[in-house]
Chains A and B, each alone.
Chain A
Amino acid sequence: MENSFSINNLNLFYGDKQALKNISMDISRYEVTAFIGPSGCGKSTLLRCLNRMNDLIPNVRIEGDIVFDQENINKDKIDVVQLRTRVGMVFQKPNPFPMSIYENVVYGLRCQNIKDKNVLNKVCENSLRKAALWDEVKDRLNDNAYGLSGGQQQRLCIARAIAMEPEVILMDEPTSALDPIATAKIEELIQELKKDYTIIIVTHSMHQAARISDKTAFFLMGEVIEMGETRNLFHVPKDKRTEDYITGRFG
């Protein structure tokens, strides 16, 4: 199975401070890869590199390669806007637009100048189904998205991302703002989604990582300490620091 992303010697600097140190890893397709580690260790920063969202932050300097579909996305020639249609993102706090549910889902399509009502309707239904939200909202697609519960809003954001038919979905702590029931629903959803999409998830809960991911990478102070099959990493960690984190000695 080919790799979704190949990262080589990635370094990232916020001004003078180095946030990512020599990251190298491969991310496999149609798998859930989890990034775990204590706060501020660079997991979200690395995630944001994969869809070039760090471009929005001033004073950021990136060195190294990230290969996606045989192209190095860190080279300036890349059409960043187009990259983001292939690599979608779901954020920690659900952030639906102040529009109807329907308009939220088809937003990305409209930006690509797709106007055919039939296409939009079909994509909307498919995405909402895949996000396990269709049954709950099919009769109120025109209602404002803010009327949904937190968990529903997050699933809406997932549907919105799926509507772009990306190859990869990046998830930055997608359930940390949700209650346990909503969290469980989304974890269940992720297991379904990995059949069609590569999923990379940043989570501060290693239990979540243990539950849902196929591969896990442990981050500490901007470096990847260890990465491997989730089962192995959690039961027989190779690095002492990994073991300390997992057993709760710090973090």
Chain B
Amino acid sequence: MKDINNDSRKPNVFKTYQDLFFKSLFFVSALISSLMIIIIIIFIAQKGISPFLSSYEYGQQNIISFLTGMVWRQDQAIYGVAFIIINTLISGFASLLIAFPISVLTALFVVKIAPKPIGYFIESAIEILASIPSVVYGVFAVGFIVPLIQTLANIFKVQTAGGSSLLAVILLLSIMILPTITSISITAIKAVDIDLEKASYALGASKTQTNFKIVLNSAKSGIFAGAILGLGRAFGEATAVSMVAGNKMFGPTFNLFDITRTMTSTMLAGLKETTGLDYDIRFSVGLVLMGVILISNLLINFVKNNIGKNHA
């Protein structure tokens, strides 16, 4: 007892330093974590722009022809990314178009309509789908979707390169972003205030009317956030897409059964035997990819904010 009384009167210098040390340590960790995104942007921007500067070691490339070119040929060192951007946009938005309604209605079903065990069952299925790695989706796409499209092409008497096609990419991406949008929508729908539903029922609305007019409406903001994330995934998906895209040398591809080329498939194509400009230009494509994702995010946000405004 006596010792404790004596010690507690002296200020504990060690403890103070110990606190300071750890606080700094934790702070530095947080600093590192938060700086990561900036580092990524800066470095990729720098490397991505470098081929277009006069100091580039393999000869300065023309940035205009890069950004507007419709041809991409590794062998002839022609690099035009415009049609690739269009292809990426087409495949991304098309897959969003397919996946969005399915995801949102599935989320509504799980939270509001299905009996608890079935809802839990489907929610688990979504979680499992979400954790399947993209390579495995790629294997599935090559082995199942692609032959399916070949069969479809035979029925419609259309040309296709064994099934690798824009349609394959779109179907693949729809499947892959489905779990993302669904799980975010489930969270958004679960957060809707139950009082609003009660008010709707008390006014004589049916269950379906309440679900669609009130629940989905109130969860709008969360659901759109899910759509944005899903679209970003669709744009950024690399491994699986590169296995079924086909990598066309020019474009853009509008024919569903024709092969296509996305930014990510370009970045992965022929990575094994590549050097110099061909390697570096992939960073430029990566930069463009990030730009596209950013702009599309802003666009959807803009749309979301303006949908709610006009109502009468």
Binding site for B on A (CB under 8 A): 51, 53, 56, 81-85, 88-89, 91, 93, 95-100, 102-103, 107-108, 110-112, 141-142, 157, 160-161, 164
Chain B interface category by residue count: 20 to 34
Contact B195 A107 (CB under 8 A): no
Contact A142 B311 (CB under 8 A): yes
Partner of A95, one of B198, B205, B206: B198
Contact A100 B217 (CB under 8 A): no
Partner of A111, one of B193, B196, B209, B308: B209
Main secondary structure of the interface of B (DSSP, over half): helix
In the bound assembly, the distance between CA atoms of A107 and B196 in angstroms comes to 12
Q: Mark B201-224, 1 if CB is under 8 A from A, else 0.
A: 111111001000110011000000
Contact A111 B217 (CB under 8 A): no
Contact A95 B196 (CB under 8 A): yes
6 contacts between A and B (CB under 8 A): A84-B201, A97-B196, A97-B214, A111-B205, A112-B204, A160-B203
Binding site for A on B (CB under 8 A): 193, 195-196, 198-206, 209, 213-214, 217-218, 308, 311-312
Q: How far is the CB of A237 from chain B (nearest CB, A)?
A: 33
Q: How far is the CB of A159 from chain B (nearest CB, A)?
A: 12
Task: Enumerate chain B residues within 8 angstroms of A83, measured Cβ to Cβ.
Answer: 204
A157 with B199: in contact, given A98-B217, A100-B311, A141-B312 (CB under 8 Å)?
yes
Partner of B200, one of A82, A102, A107, A112: A107
Task: Enumerate chain A residues within 8 angstroms of B201, measured Cβ to Cβ.
Answer: 53, 56, 84
A107 with B198: in contact, given A81-B204, A141-B312 (CB under 8 Å)?
no
In the bound assembly, the distance between CA atoms of A108 and B218 in angstroms comes to 17
Partner of A53, one of B202, B205, B308: B202
Minimum CB distance partner of B218 in chain A: A98
Contact A81 B206 (CB under 8 A): yes
A56 with B198: in contact, given A99-B217, A103-B312 (CB under 8 Å)?
yes
Task: Enumerate chain B residues within 8 angstroms of A102, measured Cβ to Cβ.
Answer: 311-312
